[in-house]
Every structure is written in C-alpha cells, then in structure tokens.
C-alpha cells in the first residue's frame, strides 16, 4: 500500500487511487472525482464509490446541519455554544453534543443548564438541564421535570 505524500504537490486523482486501490498514483479511476465522496465516502458527483475514511471519527460522513443553543455548567455563569446534529426537539439521553458547528470539538463533561429561552429536554430556558460524559454523550436530562 502506498501512502499520500506528506510534502510536495498532491494530486486529487492520485488520492482517489489511494482511496480505491491503496496505490497512490496508479489504478483506474472512472469519471469525475467528487471531493465530498473522496473525503466522506460514497459516490456523490463521482464515477466511483469511495470508502468512508476514519469511520470512528464523528461526524462521518460530515453533517453540517447542526442546530445550537447555549448552556452553562452548574455553578458557573458563562454560557457556551452547544451544537447538535438533529432537531433540538429530538434531544434525549444518548444524543451526541459538540462545542462547534461540524462536531470537531468537545464540551467539558458535567451537568449543564440551558441559558437560552428555548424548549429542550421537555423544559424551557434554564429549567432545562442535562449531563454529558467525557464523550459528550447526554447521560441524563430534565425529561420534562422543570422549574416550578
């Protein structure tokens, strides 16, 4: 298996050959090469179907339709951006949260309250609460048990 060079000029065709055949710079490529497909897997705008790269990396394939709200760790007053790759109304235990649009960065594990005047986890505003683990997965939430 060849590897993509770490310096010098890169060729998209050669990278496609590496993805499909494991041979940087040789191998048959049919039709166009879609950059999205080459990076995320699939055949969008491509003549070939490429494998997903690093499937253990979230999100893969890339999902850029994140919704956001702000929240703060209990006992602190600074609110941080929280991003979710689905409808905020569908947040529940097991949901994966991020601190950046695109899922590249993680939040600090702990218990949070919501700063915005929105409804999530069945509660509105700072009556909504949730806990995330070190993998940024929601492990518990207010589940409709809200402020009086």
Cβ neighbors of 35 (< 8 A, separation 6 or more) are 12
Secondary structure (DSSP) of 13-29: HHHHHHHHHS-TT-S--
108-125 pLDDT tens trace: 999 999 998 889 999 988
**pLDDT computed for residue 89 by the predictor:** 87
For the cut 60, the answer to whether the pLDDT of residue 1 exceeds it is: no
The pTM assigned to this predicted structure is 0.57
Strand partners, 112: 73, 130
């Amino acid at each position: 298996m060849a590897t993509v060079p770490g310096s010098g000029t890169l060729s998209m065709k050669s990278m496609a050959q590496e993805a499909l055949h494991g041979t940087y710079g040789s191998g048959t490529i049919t039709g166009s090469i879609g950059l999205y497909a080459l990076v995320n897997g699939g055949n969008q705008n491509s003549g070939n179907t490429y494998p997903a790269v690093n499937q253990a990396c979230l999100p893969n394939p890339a999902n850029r339709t994140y919704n956001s709200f702000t929240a703060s760790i209990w006992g602190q007053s600074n609110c941080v951006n929280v991003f979710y790759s689905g409808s905020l109304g569908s947040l529940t235990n097991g949901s994966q949260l991020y601190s950046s649009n695109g899922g590249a960065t993680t939040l600090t594990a702990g218990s949070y309250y919501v700063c915005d005047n929105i409804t999530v986890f069945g509660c509105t505003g700072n009556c909504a609460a949730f806990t995330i683990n070190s993998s940024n997965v929601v492990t518990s939430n207010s589940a409709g048990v809200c402020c009086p």
